[in-house]
Structure 1
Amino acid sequence: MSLPKPEPSEAKRIALVATAQAGDPSFMTSLARGLAVLGAFTSHSRVLTGAELARETGLSRAAVQRCLHTLELLGYVAAEGRGYALRPRVLGLGHAYLTSASLARIAQPVLDEVRDQLKESCSLGVLDDDELLYVARAEISRIMSISLHPGSRLPAYCTSMGRVLLAERPLAEQREYLRKHPRAQLTERTCIDAERLLDILAKVRKDGFSLVDQELEPGLRSLAVPIRNQVGELVAAINVGTQAARISARQLVSVALPSLRAAAEKLRLQVP
């Protein structure tokens, strides 16, 4: 069986759209190219050279250099060694959405309450382009090597919130998601088998919660439940994450599930 073709990175996706719309007089190709260059920077590639950015975006080196020159003058990137790195100003591009999103505003006090009650980090997430997007977080301590904050993205198939959100989709959409998205074996426990994942999603939907035990990162357990609005529509998920050495999977469900469900009910009454 052939593996599904990997989805293009965000940078290449933007660059491809820019190329496809080159004949549209209303489409600003230069703006799209600049966004593609910004999208090429990730937590794993903090400093990139012009050649690396050209390779990542699919743009010519000349186009990349023009974008970098403009972004540097505007304060979004800065030269660092032989390459370029993002400047803090770039955070403002996403900050307006995250701070104005009503769900994040409503949820933050509830997340803080769960964190203080359980003494564990608590997060709120939604699906965006088939990835888990963190929109709010109350952190007790860093337990992951992956830095998490509002705006962070993680694979949906191996995260507790991602599975809660995927579980609500019709079976055909779940199969399409698994067909489109390659699944990496992030730890020895990570489930990547499509049929097994479908069974897991069915159980999550039946149980109303998802427990992920060291599939995203060794030593990390997380538990998530869905958040619905006042008419019962799924709008997000809420989770807690803990160190596996601190609490067993069974204890985590016993201790944290009531608090998460109470938080989800509190949010249900506030979310329109």
Structure 2
Amino acid sequence: MTAPIDRQKLIPGVPAENHESYLVPGLERGLRVLEVLAAAERGLTVRELAQRIGIGRSSAFRLVYTLRFMGFLEGSPDERVYRLGPRVLNLGFAYLNGQSLIQVAQGVLEALRDATGVSAHLAIRDRRDVLFLDCVQSRSGYLTTFNTGTRLPASVMPMGWLLLSDMSAREMADLYRDGALPARTPDSPADLATLMRNVAQAAALGHVVSRGMVDRGGSSVAAPVFDQSGHVVAAIDISGPDVAFRFDEMDSFYVPEVLKAARAISERLGYFPAA
């Protein structure tokens, strides 16, 4: 029977007494692949990964294949370049929930809810879905139906268009290569070309105002959240029934408040755009 590991020896980066017996080299190299890709500002080839980790190309290929198969990596359309895949989020979701994005955004979302009187949300993209990480419900009684954990197709909603705006046209075409786009309302994009136009418009404007795009009788204002490197990592919105909004103040009040909140969260994540 293997002796239990002395917890005092489990210090990150400090080898235990029986380090060579405990260490799993393949697992270590696989995690190093994830670390290297997380630190890179672009996707990397198998050759580049092998060089940065200090292993042979064939070993690097097997690691990439395994991680790609499990969804921890995504390949470019020609499968030459790889970057982190959405399943990596599952590994750190509990940490995220307690320490990072949700914690960083919580106070800002509450302030946004209090300023506007409308429910505020935080969401990320998980492949084709928008995943709601947090919901701060309105105090007015006009409650939202999008609670924490809700998933909706990214293609049918403004938050999804903002989250997709960080992808290239080729990446989007690969993501929707089967051509299937769900319809939620008559305003839902019916094909990839329309979706790409919506995404491009959302990116150019920097926010999206919706009236009935996701649910008839409902409205929202959405904006992107950027990380330190300038990538879109999340989106926020205020959304609720039409009666929760004063539509004559949409551009003068609600949009600036949402943009201010998105900027505050982005700055807490280290994003400071050039003046």
What TM bracket, shorter-length normalisation?
A: 0.5 to 0.7
Partners of 1:207 and 1:121 in 2: how far apart? 23
Contact 2:227 2:269 in 1 (8 A): yes
In the superposition, the TM-score normalised over structure 2's length comes to: 0.58
Please state how far the C-alpha of 1:155 moved relative to its aligned partner. 0.9
1:229 aligned residue (216, 224, 227)? 227
Please state how far the C-alpha of 1:96 moved relative to its aligned partner. 3.8
Please state how far the C-alpha of 1:172 moved relative to its aligned partner. 1.1
1:185-204 superposed matches below 5 A: 185-204=183-202
Q: Secondary structure at the match of 1:124?
A: strand
Partners of 2:158 and 2:248 in 1: how far apart? 15
Q: Secondary structure at the match of 2:131?
A: strand
Partners of 2:127 and 2:250 in 1: how far apart? 30
Partners of 2:195 and 2:230 in 1: how far apart? 25
2:240 aligned residue (239, 242, 248)? 242
Please state how far the C-alpha of 1:174 moved relative to its aligned partner. 1.9
Q: Give CA-to-partner distance per residue, 1:118-157, whole Å, 9 cap, x none.
A: 000111111113211111121114545xx42222211101
Q: Which amino acid aligns with 2:218?
A: L
Contact 1:108 1:137 in 2 (8 A): no
Q: Which residue of 2 aligns with 1:111?
A: 109
Partners of 1:101 and 1:162 in 2: how far apart? 24
1:42-53 superposed matches below 5 A: none
Contact 1:143 1:220 in 2 (8 A): no
Q: Which residue of 1 aligns with 2:171?
A: 173
Q: Which residue of 2 aligns with 1:269?
A: 267
Q: Which residue of 2 aligns with 1:133?
A: 131
Please state how far the C-alpha of 1:240 moved relative to its aligned partner. 0.8
Q: Which residue of 1 aligns with 2:217?
A: 219
1:252-267 superposed matches below 5 A: 252-267=250-265
Please state how far the C-alpha of 1:117 moved relative to its aligned partner. 0.1
Q: Which has the larger radius of gyration?
A: 2
Q: Secondary structure at the match of 2:230?
A: coil
Please state how far the C-alpha of 1:99 moved relative to its aligned partner. 3.1
TM-aligned CA distance change 1:249 to 1:131, over 3 Å: farther
Partners of 2:249 and 2:112 in 1: how far apart? 16
Q: Secondary structure at the match of 2:121?
A: strand
Q: Which amino acid aligns with 1:213?
A: R
In the superposition, the TM-score normalised over structure 1's length comes to: 0.58
Contact 2:118 2:244 in 1 (8 A): no
TM-aligned CA distance change 1:209 to 1:95, over 3 Å: closer
Gaps of 5+ in 2: 1-91, 271-275
Partners of 1:109 and 1:233 in 2: how far apart? 22
Partners of 2:106 and 2:217 in 1: how far apart? 26
TM-aligned CA distance change 1:191 to 1:251, over 3 Å: farther
Please state how far the C-alpha of 1:210 moved relative to its aligned partner. 1.9
Q: Secondary structure at the match of 2:176?
A: helix
Q: Which amino acid aligns with 1:265?
A: R
Q: Which residue of 2 aligns with 1:158?
A: 156
Q: Which residue of 2 aligns with 1:87?
A: none
Give the total of aligned pairs.
178
Q: Secondary structure at the match of 1:231?
A: coil
Partners of 2:194 and 2:247 in 1: how far apart? 20
Q: Which amino acid aligns with 1:225?
A: A
Partners of 1:134 and 1:109 in 2: how far apart? 16
Please state how far the C-alpha of 1:107 moved relative to its aligned partner. 0.5
Gaps of 5+ in 1: 1-93
